[in-house]
Structure 1
Amino acid sequence: MESKEQWKSELRQWVEGGQLRQATFSQLRSKEGGAPAKTVIRPIELKGALHYQFQYYIDNKVTHENIPQPEAAERIASWLEQHYKQALFKTNDADVQILFSKKGKASVVTKPATAKQDTESLTHNRQKQRVVQEGEAAPFMVELGIMTKDGQVIAKKQDKFRQINRFLEMVTDVLPHLPADRELTIVDFGCGKSYLTFALYHLLAVKQQRRISVVGLDLKADVIAFCSELAHKLGYDNLKFQVGDISQYKDQSSVDMVVTLHACDTATDAALVKAVEWGASVILSVPCCQHELFRQIRNDAMAPLLSHGLLKERFSALATDAIRAQLLEVVGYRTQLLEFIDPEHTPKNMLIRAVRASGGSAETERKWREYLVFRDMLQVTPYLEKALGERLPQG
């Protein structure tokens, strides 16, 4: 048993000393008080100052409140006493469980620490400064059902929220490669419901006040109608959507950025060819359903791998994206293959990010020779090589 003053004093020391890593409150004293079923508290850094973030779990929603460090100890103690029977505090030195009796007396059990962290790892666990911050409502996210009107992320949309921010981080990284002295032209091939198209417009046109013109292209007329209506509702005047096929699209003579997300099989290649023809400064592509090479690959030495359909499918997808990245290098791009967070938890989470570069002829020849060795080893004739045609050294 422990007095109220004693555990509160220890709590104050944990908070003021920056030792509290997490607190979890559960088992409501009363279900009629309207308190959340669970509250989780973590340290975060906001604008260079330590705060403690309260995460409130109510039904299927999670809301947040950030409390400055000087006020946190008193708030944590009062919130626990008012609403909960049980708490688990994780500190640098120990895990401390507090159980309250019906009369409000505290019973404390202390165990070895499971959340001991150094200063560096604490910094990594502090709230990430995302492009779109929770608590600041982005109109497009509200309309698409990701956020509430007060800026809280809906629990079931947390994965989509993270995916959008991951995409915007990747866009932010390549902004120095885009022209800064004129209007940017951006095309999104296979835009679908356009979560990321709207996010891109929000970042560049709304937050950064850049002059841009964005076109979203998709084969589904009902999806395009939905996106067009939403763009009009949001006042995104320079964001247009139209029905069309990637390979047949000819409405632009030059484009600065090409985005293609989950365009199926060689539709991704068709988008890459368009980007190269336009001389796009930036290409962002998340390939999907890479079936082309699956039907072509032949190599007796790789029989233990290729004889298993599942392994052959995965290898074919990796080989396809390796070929795409290498051919983009050959025609003058610097490429990276990055992990892209997919909200549906599928393996289709590889993003090819390419920026226009000035490579010398010797470097081009080396990349081309590497490609030929790889291609011939697999005995394949990739669509992308044929479509790039005269832009490749053999052309």
Structure 2
Amino acid sequence: MEFNEMKDSVLKQILSKQLIQATISQPRAKSNEIKRIKLKPIEIKNMYHIQLEYQYERILKHENIRIEEFSSAWEKLLDDFRQIHVDFIEEKIQIQLSKKNKVMYKTEKNTSLKQVDLSHNRKKNYLLDEHTPYPFLIRLGVQTSEGKVKKQKYDKFKQINRFIEFIDDTLAYLPKDKTVRILDFGSGKSYLTFALYHYLKIEKGLDIRVTGLDLKKEVIEECSQIAKDLDYDDLEFLVGDINDYNDETAVDMVVTLHACDVATDMALARAVKWNASVILSVPCCQHELNRQLDAPGLNIMLKHGLIKERFSALATDSIRAEILNLVGYEAQLVEFIDIENTPKNILIRAYKTGGKPTHEQIEGYEQFKEMLNAQPFLENELKEYLNID
């Protein structure tokens, strides 16, 4: 299919009010601060609009465009981005554009029978409905046996749903022709591990096999029993840590939540070496850079212990994301949960693209590292993948 034919065909369905949702991603320009745009139809004052949700590194912005005025916006979107996933009422479309607008176009019948939801001013629409009983949430004590979210667990329920939103965003990057292999390092009480399994296996019907790994034997035993009680046959929990686990040669998704200090880097390095398509990591207790920092130009900040600690954490995660960008991933730092609930609220989200870094990217990374006197553990772990002198 030619570019103009594709452009007109998709636009025609949108203008015919067939759109359920769409995601536009892969900015053509590295300087584009917008990383992803989500589209959905809404009704405002009895008038049909297309809502554009612009996803930046740390914030979301919204724009509502009347359908009669959408054509020009559609042209601009195709000029700035290269990947499009669209759900229409009767079909799903995946489009990949080359630099010269050569079109890779896939379509399949939409069997989910979704209806267009035009509601706008409504309560938060969670992927897990707060009025529906879920066996794993009941078993974990988040819901009552009747399916009502317990008041003291509502923040946990929101966290679980926020995590599932990230999982939902990964679907386009996971393999479709084999069992999807997922590892969760430091799974702990495993609220999110169970949520991931439920959403991908039960809600989405994917062929997956999930392993949760943690050092606490009693926690692993409890989680294993819960998985057995729920008949989660493709979910297992093992005692061990990142350094001990050598049972895999390839993994599709690696999740690591609150792995302390360089344990996060170990998990990220393992994910890269396994050629993982998706990495989701919430770091914790970043001490490495705090010990190394030697930046006289920042002394006004760094003489304050609290500020130095927070700066070190932010700089560490920025370095981690940039290293992932340099070894062929599209990495972003996004807010995982409201900061009033936990200060450990940054999630590193990375998708395997196979892209090669530019000279400017490598130079920028080196300058930042030199400014801080940083010697990143993750860089050393991935030195064979980095073309850095």
Same fold (TM over 0.5): yes
Do structure 1's residue 162 and structure 2's residue 158 form an aligned pair? yes
Q: How many pairs were matched up?
A: 274
Q: Distance in 2 between matches of 1:271 and 1:375?
A: 21
Question: Contact conserved, 1:160 with 1:343, CA < 8 A, in 2?
Answer: no
Q: Which residue of 1 aligns with 2:373?
A: 379
Q: Which residue of 1 aligns with 2:180?
A: 184
Question: Contact conserved, 2:214 with 2:239, CA < 8 A, in 1?
Answer: yes
Do structure 1's residue 393 and structure 2's residue 387 form an aligned pair? yes
Residue 342 of structure 1: CA displacement? 6.0
Q: Distance in 2 between matches of 1:207 and 1:345?
A: 28
Question: Contact conserved, 2:339 with 2:345, CA < 8 A, in 1?
Answer: no
The residue correspondences of 1:132-211 to structure 2 (distance < 5 A) are 132-211=128-207
Q: Which residue of 2 aligns with 1:370?
A: 364
Q: Deviations over 1:143-193 (max 9, x none)?
A: 001011221111111100000000000110111011112110000000000
Residue 127 of structure 1: CA displacement? 2.1
Q: Deviations over 1:60-95 (max 9, x none)?
A: xxxxxxxxxxxxxxxxxxxxxxxxxxxxxxxxxxxx
In the superposition, relative to structure 1, how do residues 344 and 148 fare at CA in structure 2: closer, same or farther (>3 Å)? farther
The residue correspondences of 1:301-380 to structure 2 (distance < 5 A) are 301-341=297-337, 345-360=341-356, 363-380=357-374
Residue 386 of structure 1: CA displacement? 0.8
Q: Distance in 1 between matches of 2:215 and 2:120?
A: 42
Q: 2:295 aligns with which of 294, 299, 303?
A: 299
**Secondary structure of the structure 1 residue equivalent to 2:334:** strand
Structure having the higher helix fraction is 1
Residue 367 of structure 1: CA displacement? 2.0
Q: Distance in 1 between matches of 2:122 and 2:345?
A: 25
Residue identity opposite 1:300 in structure 2 = P
Q: Which runs of 5+ in 2 are unaligned?
A: 1-41, 44-117
Question: Contact conserved, 1:167 with 1:196, CA < 8 A, in 2?
Answer: yes
In the superposition, relative to structure 1, how do residues 344 and 124 fare at CA in structure 2: closer, same or farther (>3 Å)? same
Normalising by structure 2, we get a TM-score of 0.68
Q: Which residue of 1 aligns with 2:71?
A: none
Q: Distance in 1 between matches of 2:142 and 2:153?
A: 5
Q: Distance in 2 between matches of 1:334 and 1:328?
A: 7
Residue identity opposite 2:243 in structure 1 = S
Residue 125 of structure 1: CA displacement? 4.5
Which entry has the higher C-alpha Rg, 1 or 2?
1
Do structure 1's residue 264 and structure 2's residue 255 form an aligned pair? no
Residue 325 of structure 1: CA displacement? 0.2
Residue identity opposite 2:353 in structure 1 = A
Question: Contact conserved, 1:159 with 1:342, CA < 8 A, in 2?
Answer: no
Question: Contact conserved, 2:182 with 2:254, CA < 8 A, in 1?
Answer: yes
Residue identity opposite 1:378 in structure 2 = L
**Secondary structure of the structure 2 residue equivalent to 1:352:** strand
In the superposition, relative to structure 1, how do residues 297 and 224 fare at CA in structure 2: closer, same or farther (>3 Å)? same
Question: Contact conserved, 1:285 with 1:353, CA < 8 A, in 2?
Answer: yes
Q: Distance in 1 between matches of 2:218 and 2:359?
A: 46
Q: Distance in 2 between matches of 1:391 and 1:365?
A: 15
State the identity as a percent. 55
Normalising by structure 1, we get a TM-score of 0.67
The residue correspondences of 1:108-127 to structure 2 (distance < 5 A) are 125-127=121-123
